[in-house]
Amino acid sequence: MSTIAHEKYEAVIGLEVHAQLLTKSKAFAPVTIQYGGAPNTQVTPLCLGHPGTLPVVNENLVRYIIKMGLATHCSVAEKSIFARKNYFYPDLPKGYQISQYDTPICFDGFVDISLDEYDKRIGLTRIHMEEDAGKSIHDQDPYNTLVDLNRAGTPLIEIVSEPDLRTPQEAYAYLSKIKQIVQYLEICDGNMEEGSLRCDANVSVRPRGQKEFGTRTELKNMNSFRNVERAIHYEIYRQIELIEEGGEVVQQTRLWDTSTEQTRAMRSKEEAHDYRYFPEPDLPPIIVTNELLDEIREELPELADVRRKRFMEEMGMSEDDANTITESRYLADYYEEVANNLGNPKAASNIVLSEVLRVLNEQSIDIRDFTISAQRVSDLVKLKEDDKINSSAMQQIFNAMLKEDKEPEELAKEMNLIQVSDSGFLEPIVDKIIEDNPDEVARYRDGKKQLIGFFIGQAMKASQGKANPKLVKDLITKKLND
């Protein structure tokens, strides 16, 4: 691939993201959803479309999608209807999926993404509701495909972006943003690896400067953020190469193959009319009143963008730090609790960004699984602020707290790390250091004031790290200037 070709072309990317909602029951049936249940145990005649069954809309499906719509600046339709999307597949016993077609409940929104060099606004075409199909399992039996219908009828929202994305990095940033929003709203756990967030990427290329879009392909089967980025990258180059060789891009669905790191053709692209959409006759339209909208607006949490700004303005945080801390709602909650307990935002961000995040990264865990409570972390920092321990002791106690379920003060005592702030104990130590180092004392008194560090170091050592460095400094300064 020559770089010339790369410079000649521009990619156009639009993402379709499916988010599995965290409702307690299915989209149109009163069946409890429990993850990890034995296959085919969460199925009723309704999920199978048996005659005589009728769907009922789960109210939370509607509330959750409206939350998402409001959080992404969408308009919310006063009236929208469900539609049947008809197709055959073994994991779809009803022969159709309940979805929405030309009246999505949310439309015309946007999200803002941030890249290293620039910020960009990405349009959202629509967000609609639908139900999931079951799962075909191809790798458990050597001869047969197995079907698990537990997932059939679980609620999904599909978020469709405008073709506003231009690079794999922008697609990655956009997807991260969607994940962050659904997590802040607590409507989806956002886990791509486990399939609760899924992404199809539509990719085309066109010569730079050309207005019309090129023919697109749709990429599927990417089950991580990195794979989405890689698959799009691969596909852009595949299309450019094809065009440069005189070929033409065929509109088709392609699968990302993680083992070869390539996309391969799966089927020619289906068209909407192939699905024979028609209005779902068994469900009434969804009517969204202003009262409902106001109620849901009230329930919205402070979202990451707003929170980041507030942390920068009120807490004096740098943009980078604010980005890191607000990346997850729960980390931001944790930080705020520490900051409020301490009344010192800077000390709070110091410990969260250094110690807490270090452990989360080392153990690859979420802040919700972190064993030290925000209360204990603030108590620990408080010990240091009150000069009861010094910073190296703080770190040792923090590490001990990871292993032992004990209060920081208790550990400080057990580990013999409480600072000595008693001048009766420190004076003899300081006197001895002055006596033992006549040369340094003379040079200090001659004006080499930076030697104070040397004296403090000696005193800290002699006290086995327990001396209060501030008190030591005061004592030494006083004695040397006597």
Taking alpha carbons only, the member of 283, 222, 224 closest to residue 253 is 222
CB of 259 to ligand ADP, least distance (A): 26
Determine contact, residues 12/236, Cβ cutoff 8 Å.
no
Cβ proximity to Mg ion, 16 vs 385, nearer residue: 16
Determine contact, residues 121/110, Cβ cutoff 8 Å.
yes
Q: 316: alpha, beta or left, given left = phi > 0 and alpha = psi -120 to 50?
A: left
Taking alpha carbons only, the member of 12, 11, 20, 17 closest to residue 200 is 17
Cβ proximity to Mg ion, 158 vs 355, nearer residue: 158
378 binds ligand ADP (CB under 6 A): no
Q: What is the number of alpha carbons within 13 Å of residue 399 lying toward its C-beta?
A: 7
Q: Which does 472 bind (CB under 5 to 8 A by kind): Mg ion, ligand ADP, none?
A: none
14 binds ligand ADP (CB under 6 A): yes
When binding is defined by CB under 6 A, the residue of 33, 71, 77, 160 that contacts ligand ADP is 160
* Strand pairing category for 252-257 and 262-268: antiparallel
CB of 164 to ligand ADP, least distance (A): 7
197 beta partners: 19
* Per-residue x/- track, 183-222, ligand ADP (CB under 6 A): -------------------xxx--------x--x-x----
Residue of closest CB approach to Mg ion: 16
When binding is defined by CB under 6 A, the residue of 42, 80, 161, 324 that contacts ligand ADP is 161
Give the separation between CA 464 and CA 235, rounded to whole angstroms.
Answer: 62
Cβ proximity to ligand ADP, 42 vs 202, nearer residue: 202
When binding is defined by CB under 6 A, the residue of 69, 109, 153, 163 that contacts ligand ADP is 163
Give the separation between CA 162 and CA 264, rounded to whole angstroms.
Answer: 24
CB of 14 to ligand ADP, least distance (A): 2
* Per-residue x/- track, 5-44, Mg ion (CB under 5 A): -----------x----------------------------
Interface with ligand ADP (CB under 6 A), residue total 15
Q: Which does 43 bind (CB under 5 to 8 A by kind): Mg ion, ligand ADP, none?
A: none
Cβ proximity to ligand ADP, 15 vs 426, nearer residue: 15
Start-to-end C-alpha separation, the chain: 76
Instruction: Give the CA distances from residue 458 to residues 9, 38, 271, 440, in Å, rounded to whole numbers and listed in that order.
Output: 66, 66, 79, 12
Give the separation between CA 244 and CA 208, rounded to whole angstroms.
Answer: 14
Tokens of 28: 């149109």
Residues 60-89 that bind ligand ADP (CB under 6 A): none
CB of 165 to ligand ADP, least distance (A): 8
CB of 13 to ligand ADP, least distance (A): 6
DSSP line for 398-460: HHHHHHS---HHHHHHHTT-PPB--HHHHHHHHHHHHHH-HHHHHHHHTT-GGGHHHHHHHHH
Query: Which residues bind to Mg ion, rule: CB under 5 A?
Result: 16
Query: Which residues bind to ligand ADP, rule: CB under 6 A?
Result: 12-16, 160-163, 202-204, 213, 216, 218
